[in-house]
Structure 1
Amino acid sequence: MHDGTVEHLPVDVRASLRFFAFYLANGTVDVDLLDGIDYRSALFQYGSALEQVFAIYGNVLRLDENGQVLNDGEAQYRAAQWIRAHCDPGYRVEPPFQPWETELHGP
């Protein structure tokens, strides 16, 4: 019986989020795509760019019926593509982002 309490995110999701935040903060998100780009100053100066990165990561992340993450690499790659486009105006994201990927949720 559901008592109205909110369940925690599955451990696998929390671990994926933690590692993504770690890679993002230490400059190692998708090192192939972002090689030579110092994205940290561009993302951490104002909160909205960092907010968009986490929105994309969270929107793309998919789980199986047991709460296990199915596509952490894909979610990180799509976030890295946005970072690259944000820092390098000549970079074109392929395939282009769909509206659901960049949607910001919340109040």
Structure 2
Amino acid sequence: MKLSNSFSGALREFAYFMASGRQNTLEGVDYLLLYGKEPSAIEQVFAIYANVIEMDEMGEVLNDAYAQKRATDYLRSYMDRSFEVQPSYEDWETALH
């Protein structure tokens, strides 16, 4: 089974905005400094995104904005220890597979 075009497009767009420094949910956070220096933080962002994203039986992405927000809230909290992710992550959201 291949990934759906919907998921492939959502992932590509998320990766683009994360790599370009223009991720709108991270406005004001200089997270590009982490690339190449703290790859595990970036790895965790993509793991959360992949764990949270949902698709219907046809492969259409149902919650891209929510998956992006959950993923980028991790990075915001990583960069700003005073930021609290709400609701707190459940173990399945942060699992590395």
Q: TM-score range by the shorter chain?
A: over 0.9
Of 11, 15, 22, which aligns to 2:5?
11
CA contact (8 A) 1:56 1:103 kept: yes
- Between the aligned partners of 1:9 and 1:78, the Cα distance in structure 2 is 21
Which amino acid letter does the alignment assign opposite residue 67 of structure 2? A
Quote the sequence identity (%). 43
| 1:40 counterpart = 2:52 | no
State the 1:41 CA deviation.
1.0
Q: What per-residue deviation string (whole Å, max 9, x for no partner) do you get for residues 41-94 of structure 1? A: 124423211110100000000000100000000000001100100100110000
The structure with the largest alpha-carbon Rg is 1
Task: Show the counterpart of 2:87.
Answer: 95
- Unaligned ranges ≥5, structure 1: 1-6
Of 54, 76, 87, which aligns to 1:84?
76
CA distance 1:97–1:43, change in 2 (3 Å): farther
The RMSD of aligned alpha carbons is 1.1
TM-score, normalising length: structure 2: 0.93
